Amino acid sequence: MEHAITVQELTKRYEDVTAVDHVSFEVGKGEIFGFLGPNGAGKTTTIKILTGLMKPDGGKAFVAGYDVLKDPIGAKQHIGGCSRSFKRLCGSHRMGKPGLDRQALRCARTETEGKLH
């Protein structure tokens, strides 16, 4: 199986605190993957490393086969996201049904085109 994300023994330390401790996982292409854990577990730090916003102290990370350290631009060209600050909700959500409809996602994509680097 081709992997969208591969993380091998990823480690990040802040002085005396180890935020990410030899984390390894793979996300298959087309797979839906939940990245869950308690506060302080290293989720945000791992995402910052995968998106090239932070360098790890050890290990390797690949996005769409691109090494995030050796080819960060190649990796970033295959990254998209939606943060919790995304406020535009679809009509079905306002009626008590969770989810984002295609129109809301289309609007979000249109609003951000050309703004992400």
CB 57 within 8 A of CB 23: no
Kind plus residue range of the DSSP H or E element containing 50? helix 43-50
Q: Is the pLDDT of residue 104 over 80?
A: no
pLDDT of residue 80: 78
Going by pLDDT thresholds of 50, 70 and 90, the confidence category of residue 106 is low
* β-bridge mates for residue 27, sequence order: 5
Domains of the chain: 3-76 (3.40.50.300), 81-117 (no CATH)
Mean pLDDT throughout 26-45? Answer: 91
* Distances, alpha carbon 62 to alpha carbons 2, 58, 86, in Å: 12, 13, 26
pLDDT of residue 1: 61
Record the tokens describing residue 25, joined without a space: 């996982």
* Distances, alpha carbon 8 to alpha carbons 27, 30, 99, 105, 110, in Å: 12, 20, 33, 32, 35
CB 104 within 8 A of CB 88: yes
Task: Give the span between the Cα atoms of 56 and 105, in whole angstroms.
Answer: 32
Considering the entire predicted model, what is its pTM? 0.69
Mean pLDDT throughout 66-88? Answer: 79
Query: What does the pLDDT look like over 8-19, one tens digit per residue?
Result: 999 999 999 999
DSSP symbol at 57: S
Q: Is the pLDDT of residue 94 over 80?
A: no
Record the tokens describing residue 22, joined without a space: 């030899």
Query: What does the pLDDT look like over 37-74, one tens digit per residue?
Result: 999 899 999 999 999 999 999 999 999 999 999 999 99
Mean pLDDT (the chain) is 79
Q: Which of 18-27, 34-43, 76-85 has the highest mean pLDDT?
A: 18-27
CB 79 within 8 A of CB 90: no
